[in-house]
Amino acid sequence: MTPRRTPADLVRAAPGPAFEIRLDGRPLTALPGQSVAAALWAAGVLSWRTTRRGGRPRGAFCGIGSCFDCLATINGRPNQRACLVPARPGDAVTTQEGHGRADLTV
């Protein structure tokens, strides 16, 4: 069996040491330079938001910040585009339901 190659292997990247972030309290590993969305993808997480109508799962779609499918609550701030937010050690990512403002009675 051929060893699995990663994008980092292909470009001979040597990222710094991995660190921990949390998704809904579950520890995940991230690498320096990864966005929150990239760290979630690397951990096998494909959805971290549900839509307002219907509760349909969403995750990264465009990956460049043009759409809003990857919205997440990061460190208590709702509606953050996970593909644009750099992952930082200790980040707390919460699955966002709907518009992410459950505290508003709208």
Domains of the chain: which residue ranges?
18-97
Q: Which residues of 37-65 are buried (b: 16+ CB within 10 A; e: fewer)?
A: bbbbbeeebeebbeeeeeeeebbbeebee
**Predicted pLDDT at 96:** 87
**Predicted pLDDT at 12:** 83
Q: Which residues of the chain have pLDDT under 50?
A: 104-106
Cβ contact 78:67 at 8 Å: no
**Predicted pLDDT at 1:** 61
pLDDT tens string 14-29: 888 999 999 999 999 9
Q: Cα(6)–Cα(36) distance, rounded to whole angstroms?
A: 18
pTM of the predicted protein model? 0.80
- What is the domain class of 18-97 according to CATH? alpha beta
